[in-house]
Amino acid sequence: MSADSLYSMKTTTLDGKPADLGQYGGKVTLVVNVASQCGFTPQYAGLQKLYDEYKDKGFAILGFPSNDFGSQEPGSPEEIATFCKKNYGVTFPMFSKLVTKAGQDQSPIYTYLGQTGSLPSWNFAKYLVGKDGKVIQFFNSKVTPEAKELRDAIDAALAK
């Protein structure tokens, strides 16, 4: 099954409830594969700040924990939620752990995102997705939430 939009997909929230990504249709979203024990984990603080700054302008951040790289997200959903809340005050939507790497276990979400030709090579890779659910741009892990290139891309997508 091939999706034509991120917003046509369904997944599960971090607390195990069904989630329809259609609820983000019409918004610009930043999809991030996150991990609690990574050198990039402090990006959670910047992501939360970005979310706080833009959430009322039609923007959302969707966090997808992944244990694909260096086994840096070994925790249970409860442990992940507690870690994110306690250490970074995360309030943006977080979803159940999934596989980002290509292969038979890859999440359909990352199969769709990977159609861009880019898949995460480490934790905290980012996909900027437009209001139509199509990927606008991929940013590797080293591009921080504070980066001008990311913020400019978000502003441009919101202006459309």
In the set 33, 87, 123, 140, the catalytic residue is 87
Q: Which of 31, 99, 113 lies closest to 67, judged by CA?
A: 99
Q: Is 37 exposed, middle or buried (0-12, 13-18, 19+ CB in 10 A)?
A: middle
CA quadruple 32, 129, 46, 77: dihedral positive or negative?
A: negative
DSSP state of 92: S
In the residue annotation, 87 being an active-site residue is answered as yes
Q: Which active-site residues does the annotation give?
A: 87
